[in-house]
Amino acid sequence: MNYTNQTMKIVSYFALFLSLTLSSSLFANRGLEIALLSDKNNEGYGDSSSTMTMELISKKGDVVTRELRFKRLEVPEDGDKSIAVFESPRDVKGVAILSYAHKQEADDQWLYLPALKRVKRIASKNKSGPFLGSEFSFEDFSFQEVEKYEYEYIKDESYLGKDCFVIKRIPLDPYSGYTKQLAWIDKENYLLQKIHHFDRKSFHLKTQTFGEYKQYLGFFWQPHRIEMQNHQNGKSSVLKFEEVFFKQGLTANDFSQNSLKRSR
Amino acid sequence: MQSNAKYLALFLISFFLLPIKAEFIGEISLDNRHFFNDGALGQDNNHSSISFSPEIFENLEDDRIFHFKAKLRNDNKDTERNLVDIQELYFIEIGESKEIKYGMSKEFWGVTETSHRVDIINQTDTTESFDGEDKLGQPMVKVSLEKNWGNIDLYALLGFRERTYSGDKGRLRLPVLIDTDNPIYESSAKNKRTDFAIRWSHYFDEFEVALSHFSGTSREPRLMPSAKKLNHLTPYYEKINQTGLEALYLIGGLALKLEAIRRSGQGDTFSAATAGFEYTQVGIADSRIDLGWILEANHDDRLSNSPFVVGTRLTFNDSYDSQILSGMFINEKTEEIGMLIEASRRIASCCMISLEAMYFDDANEDNGEIKLFGPFKEDDFMRIEFIYYFGE
């Protein structure tokens, strides 16, 4: 009997310990919970092809436009694959970037230069630099796998009339250009509405907003307008998705190095 | 060149007779090179040229691509710099994890920046620029296979293109003229020989590797005293076998690179290699400017000394894509230094402008060594190029 009692005691202590750690970890990871629910929106799309324009807006309001095409393939067990092909300006027409995202390790990236017919492996760690001269960095363009951040729930706040969660995420990658990000995620559909990006000096450098969400395939929400405002230099960039098609039957074959070379 | 022009004309006629919906684009480039000193052989100080490159690209069906690109160039001083070349005129048939390309095309092999040891499919157009980056179209059939263990490319190279050399009135040329009208071939098939090449490439996380083999007529000729023309050199194109290795390893933002070849068939079997690194500092001094560093060392069994190169690349990341590239070629043994600076930016969405300057420095004029830049010591120059792009 004594023996059983002791076992019971140990078991109950263990259960108490387990429930304590679980609840405290749940409490600390409410941010992660929200991030995971938000990330669910990126699942199940299969593949997508889009044409987009990017407007670079100077402090004075002058606008220059870039056009690009973007293909994406969902790879559930690892990160997604994508090809971005530049259409304009003319001197970069046909330049393309192939990316294989990974949940844990650094992404694999190749750049294709059509004038030289050269495929060049590029260091994905150099991701904090500007993308195509815009206020977006390469990092803002790559897939933001949940595993690559640490999360913390901050507060509830209304943004543009939508009830939102505000969560803090800290990039785990030391090569990230950001020390932290604050993300506004709406409570209805768990869609990203706004991100404040803080640079290495913890200065609120940029604000990214997501708008014109449209639903595809009956469940997949795609923003058609993403804007990045740089508070330091007064410039902004607007990415507009002109056309988006889903489930076009793309396969890994369309995301190989050979397909990168013929991607224009 | 004559026959090339004939094919081009034929092609253009057939293209306009068969109306197809395709993307028609192109570029026109004007360039002027100003040499600071009189030519060692009495050549002029200002050389201008105009180039025209029309291009057609079409996805015929989901699994077939057509691509055409020609390059026509006219130089106001050096007739050897005039060019009519079909750079691309091919179809690609796309299959499941494979593709077949047939026609004229350009193919690049390699990882290093300042010298391309392994790259061998296409002939070099040395008259376009000093760096050897400009190539001529090569007729080929290429089969590419994508396997779990890497990509395999098999090439049958149908026929041979001769290397271009500056003529009598050209600059950046050897003191002795090259008799390009009377090349000598080791192969009895001369420039009709079919050459073969194979390349395997793969990557393992941060490590990229490629192995290749080429068997055929050397793109790089040996220059022999001409039996036909006095004071001329004749290009001698021998049959060679060349095995190449390319490797690249990424450590964070640092890329370590190696290219090495072993070639037989041109006198003694020899090896040559280029190794070095590339590193980019993203956003220097809290700006949006990136600073890239390139350091590459060269070795060639045939030379007593090869230069090493230090280069920098400033990328401004502005809406004009402004860039400044600089390089210093240092040849320790011969006490020579070559310096290059290249700047380019976009002007509106239609046009680009670029400036290039090259300076050759010889610290010790006569130190008993054969000078690598000796023939070019009067050829310091500045080049300005304006490119206009047309079509959408």
Residue B272 domain-assigned (yes or no):
yes
Residue A140 domain-assigned (yes or no):
yes
CATH number at residue A85: 2.50.20.10
| Cβ distance of B92 and A262 shorter than 8 Å | yes
Do A197 and A174 form a contact (C-beta atoms < 8 A)? no
- Residue B283 touches chain A, beta carbons under 8 Å: yes
Could you read off the pLDDT of B163-189 as tens digits, one per residue?
999 999 999 888 899 999 999 999 999
- Residue B63 touches chain A, beta carbons under 8 Å: no
Nearest CB partner across the interface for A123, out of B65, B201, B250: B250
Q: Find residue B294's DSSP bridge partners.
A: B278, B311
Residue A128 domain-assigned (yes or no):
yes
Nearest CB partner across the interface for A116, out of B108, B205, B389: B108
What CA–CA distance (Å, rounded) separates A264 from B143? 20
Q: What is the mean pLDDT of chain A?
A: 88
Q: Which residue of B has its CA nearest to A236?
A: B319
A228 vs B3, which has greater pLDDT?
A: A228
Domain containing A70 equals 35-261
Q: Report how far Cα B367 is from the mean position of its chain's Cα atoms.
A: 32
What percent of chain B is helix, strand and coil (3-state, nearest 5)? 5, 55, 35
Residue A182 domain-assigned (yes or no):
yes
Q: How far is A117 from chain B (nearest CA, A)?
A: 6
**Whether the predicted pLDDT of A104 surpasses 90:** no
What CA–CA distance (Å, rounded) separates B287 from B37? 39
pLDDT at position B1 is: 47
pLDDT at position B295 is: 97
Cα angle value A142/A143/A148 (rounded, 5°): 105
Q: Which of residues 130-189 of B touch A (CB under 8 A)?
A: 133, 144, 146, 151
The per-type count for chain B, helices as H runs and strands as E runs, is: 1, 22
Tell me whether the omega of the peptide bond preceding residue A223 falls within 30 degrees of 0, making it cis. no
On the 0-12 / 13-18 / 19+ scale of CB atoms within 10 A, A101 is buried
| Cβ distance of B280 and A262 shorter than 8 Å | no
Count of CB pairs separated by less than 8 Å, A with B = 92
- Chain A hits for B318, CB-CB cut-off 8 Å, are 133
CATH number at residue B135: 2.40.160
What CA–CA distance (Å, rounded) separates A121 from A133? 20
Residue B239 domain-assigned (yes or no):
yes
pLDDT at position B361 is: 85
**Whether the predicted pLDDT of A18 surpasses 60:** no
| Cβ distance of A133 and B318 shorter than 8 Å | yes
pLDDT at position A1 is: 46
Sign of CA dihedral B183, B185, B190, B193: negative
pLDDT at position B7 is: 67
Could you read off the pLDDT of A26-85 as tens digits, one per residue?
556 899 999 998 988 888 899 999 999 999 999 999 999 999 999 999 998 888 999 999
Residue B372 domain-assigned (yes or no):
yes
| Cβ distance of A91 and B151 shorter than 8 Å | no
Number of domains composing chain A = 1
Q: How far is B8 from chain A (nearest CA, A)?
A: 20
| Cβ distance of A126 and B290 shorter than 8 Å | yes
Domain containing B146 equals 96-390
Could you read off the pLDDT of B188-247 as tens digits, one per residue?
999 999 999 999 999 999 999 999 999 999 999 999 999 888 889 999 999 999 999 999
**Chain A residues with a Cβ under 8 Å from any Cβ in chain B:** 56, 58, 64-65, 88-93, 105-106, 108, 116-118, 120-121, 123, 125-126, 128-130, 133, 175, 177, 253, 256-258, 262, 264
Residue B69 domain-assigned (yes or no):
no
Residue B331 domain-assigned (yes or no):
yes
What CA–CA distance (Å, rounded) separates A100 from A108? 5
User: Which tokens belong to B327?
Assistant: 């390089």
Nearest to A194 by CA among A229, A146, A170, A221: A229
Residue A172 domain-assigned (yes or no):
yes
Q: Against a cut of 0.80, is the pTM above it?
A: yes
Could you read off the pLDDT of B281-306 as tens digits, one per residue?
988 888 889 999 999 999 999 988 88
Do A239 and A253 form a contact (C-beta atoms < 8 A)? no
Burial B176-188 (b: 16+ CB within 10 A, else e): ebbbbeebbbebe
| Cβ distance of B252 and A121 shorter than 8 Å | no
Number of domains composing chain B = 1
| Cβ distance of A258 and B352 shorter than 8 Å | no
Cα angle value B240/B246/B250 (rounded, 5°): 170
Q: How far is B334 from chain A (nearest CA, A)?
A: 32
